[in-house]
Every structure is written in C-alpha cells, then in structure tokens.
Amino acid sequence: EKKFVINFSAGPAKLPEAVLRQAQKEMLDYQDTGVSVMEMSHRSADFSKILNTTEQNLRELLDVPDNYKVMFLQGGGTGQFSAVPLNLMKLKPGHTADYLVTGTWSAKAANEAKKYGTVNMVLPATKKYTSIPDASTWNLNPEASYVYYCANETVHGVEFKDIPETNGVPLVCDMSSNILTRPVDVSKFGVIFAGAQKNIGCAGVTVVIVRDDLIGQAMDVCPSVFDYKVQSSNNSLYNTPPTYSVYIMGLVFNWIKSQGGVASMDHNSQVKSSTIYNVVEESDGFYCCPLDPKCRSRTNLPFRIGSIEGNDSLEKKFLEEATKAGYLQLKGHRSVGGIRVSLYNAVSVEEAHLLAGFMRNFIADNR
Ligand code: PMP
C-alpha cells in the first residue's frame, strides 16, 4: 500500500488516483487489444478513437466554438510560446507583437518572440512581479500582430482574473497552469495553449487551440511541426504525437467530467485557494504573501515565512516537517525562494484543509 502523501508539486503534478489506477489496469492490454497504448501506431483505429474522443471531450469541457482547431502537440509550453511568433508575427506588416510580462513565463515568451520581430512591452519593466498594473495604463499598440499574456504565472503566482481587452487585435494566452480550473470564453482568444503536466495530464503533450482565420500565416522559417496549418490539417498527426500522454489526458478529461466538469473544478479551486490564503491572512505576519490580492493565483500560492524577505531557517524547518508529514514539493521556485503551494485540479478540497491545519500548527509551534 502507498504511504500517505499529498503532492503539492508545481508540475509535473499530482494526477487523480482514479486516472492512475485505470492506466495501471489498462497498461498491458488496452481494452482487449492485447497491446499497451504505448505500443500502438498513432494511425491505428484504436489510437484514432482515443485522439478523437479526447478532442471531443476537451471541446465539450471548454465549450470550444466550431471555428477553432484543437491540436495536441509536442514541444511543451516552451515549444508553443516559441511557435506563436513563428505563426503570427507577420499577420500585420509591422511585424510587431504586444507582450504583457507579468512573471518568468511571459518574460521568456517575449524573449523568444524578439527573434522574429519587434516586441512591444505593454507593461512597465519590473523584476518584482507582484501585481498587474491597471489596464488604463497599458501601452497597447493597435498595429500589433497579436497581444500575448500568461493567464497564470506559475513561479510568481500572478493570475489574471479578467481577459485583457485588445480592441480586435488577436489575443494569445498561455494557460499552462490554470487551464480547466475555471470557465473561459474561448471566443475571446486567437490562440490558447497549455502544457498538460499541471492540471490535465502528464508531460509530453501540449494543447493548442487556434481560431481558423489565424491559421496559414506562418513565417517561411517556421518548422512544419510547429506550423498551425500543417498540424491542424493533419489532425495533429503530421508527426508522431505523444500518444501515451494524449491517452492520460483523455482519462483526466473523463475524470473532470465525472466530477461535474469545469464548474466544479472552478468551485474547488476557489475553496482550496481561499483555505490557504486565509491561513496566511490570519497569521498576523507569520506567513507573508507579497502578491496584490487582486491578482493572487488560485493554483500557485507563493509565500514567505517569518517576514516578507523570508526567514531561511524557519522555511527550511517548515519544508522538513512538511515532507516528514507527507506534504510534498512545497519549496518555492529557486528564483524566488520561500514556499509555494500548487493546488491543481487533482488536489482535493480536503487535502487543502489538511495542509491548512499543518500550517496553523506550525505557527503555534514556532511563533
Ligand atoms: N508556461 C507556464 C505558465 C509554465 O508554468 C511552464 C512550465 N512550468 C511553461 C510555460 C513551460 O512549459 P514546458 O516546461 O512544458 O516547456
């Protein structure tokens, strides 16, 4: 029997136990085929069925309109934020793109885009990444080919609560760390992409959702595997897709449906995150969250212990005791330090309550 743990990893992250058990059951013999999904041709009837059902389920869960293509590709979030300028930079003659940089991941995406065109920084430069400046101050360029942002910054914990208004310029969004944790109006976006390894599966597959009119505009240098037109017209089968990762993601979509869909993930996300933030708020400065309450992430909650700069020995003690008690992977990203609690879809409300209890006890013992 497995020992008691709760996995709060920022990714690759916890998967629902029911999904792992089903994968285990089907590992050697997928539905009487006599082979594992890992051993199937990506062009076989059995795998086609997995691919198509997975796409249908995602379309249903996210209510994806018919004028959008859904692709399941390799390359991760990094591959896909690199593919964005390759596909969209030349939509307008200026070859300029607007980037809202609110943390590590949008900063990396902006640097990648600079290889292919001019990047306009919409927000003033900062290294702190603790808030999102008010939209009235944004420096948007109406001639931009697209506007790019990251819905949830996994390292810094900055999450957009609203979809940015771009006045008709196509909007591109990295949803790697909050996809399917809240409903979104897909019709407001030009492109949405998300790596699977946080909320919807294991590493290897990246979901890419693109509006039809943005397909077929890639730069000549765009590698075919990253070209939206090539991949969408081949139903993600231009090259071998990450077949097993697609299968696991399909199991997760079924699990989300069985739990009540995105509405229920949204509700749980709200409850779980406020359970932890409440402990921080009520701790009288023992736990310190640097983030503006208006943009605090519900899926990645960074905080310090002892003071806003963090007390190294207390944080070390917290992590050691947490690990011993079974609360795993709570260390903040190495670039910001401190603690980070990741509360993706597979982490239950009850598990968040257990961690909150541990955090309260830690105050009592260490104040
Ligand atoms: N975007 C975000 C928001 C992420 O959190 C990550 C990974 N942590 C990435 C992009 C990069 O994803 P990958 O490692 O799959 O390239």
ipTM of the complex: 0.99
Pocket test for ligand 1, best of 99, 105, 193 (most atoms within 8 A of CB): 105
| Bridge pairing between strands 96-99 and 118-121 | parallel
Half-sphere exposure of 225 (CA within 13 A, CB side): 12
DSSP SS3 for 294: helix
pLDDT digits (tens, 9 = 90+) for 151-207: 999 999 999 999 999 999 999 999 999 999 999 999 999 999 999 999 999 999 999
The pLDDT, as a whole number, for residue 1 is 79
Question: What global pTM score does this model have?
Answer: 0.98
Pocket test for ligand 1, best of 72, 74, 78, 175 (most atoms within 8 A of CB): 78
The pLDDT, as a whole number, for residue 127 is 85
The distance of Cα 154 from the centroid of its chain, to the nearest Å, equals 8
CB 291 within 8 A of CB 158: yes
Token pair 């947490």 is found at 322
> Which residue has a Cα nearest atom 9 of ligand 1?
77
The pLDDT, as a whole number, for residue 309 is 95
Q: Which residues contact 182 (CB under 8 A, 6 or more apart)?
A: 262, 265, 266, 269, 298
pLDDT digits (tens, 9 = 90+) for 256-274: 999 999 999 999 999 999 9
Q: Looking at 14, 69, 174, 227, which residue is catalytic?
A: 174
Ligand 1 contact, 78 CB (< 6 A): yes
Q: How wide is the angle at C-alpha 146 spanned by C-alphas 140 and 148, nearest 5°? A: 80
**Distance between the two ends of the chain, CA-based, in angstroms?**
36
Tokens of 131: 């808030």
In degrees rounded to 5, what are phi and psi of residue 339? -115, 145
DSSP SS3 for 147: strand
Instruction: Name the residue among 313, 327, 328, 309 with its Cα closest to residue 366.
Output: 313
**Segments in the chain below pLDDT 50:** none
Q: Which residues contact 150 (CB under 8 A, 6 or more apart)?
A: 100, 102, 103, 105, 106, 109, 173, 174, 176
Ligand 1 contact, 150 CB (< 6 A): yes
Instruction: Name the residue among 105, 141, 107 with its Cα closest to residue 122.
Output: 141
Ligand 1 contact, 195 CB (< 6 A): yes
198 given a catalytic annotation? yes
DSSP SS3 for 174: strand
The pLDDT, as a whole number, for residue 162 is 97
The pLDDT, as a whole number, for residue 11 is 97
115 given a catalytic annotation? no
CB 120 within 8 A of CB 95: no
66 given a catalytic annotation? no
The pLDDT, as a whole number, for residue 160 is 98
CB 117 within 8 A of CB 101: no
CB 131 within 8 A of CB 291: yes
Q: Computed from CA positions of residues 176, 180, 183, 188, in that sequence, does the dihedral angle turn out positive or negative?
A: positive
CB 328 within 8 A of CB 150: no
Query: Distance from the CA of 141 to the center of ligand 1, in angstroms?
Result: 26
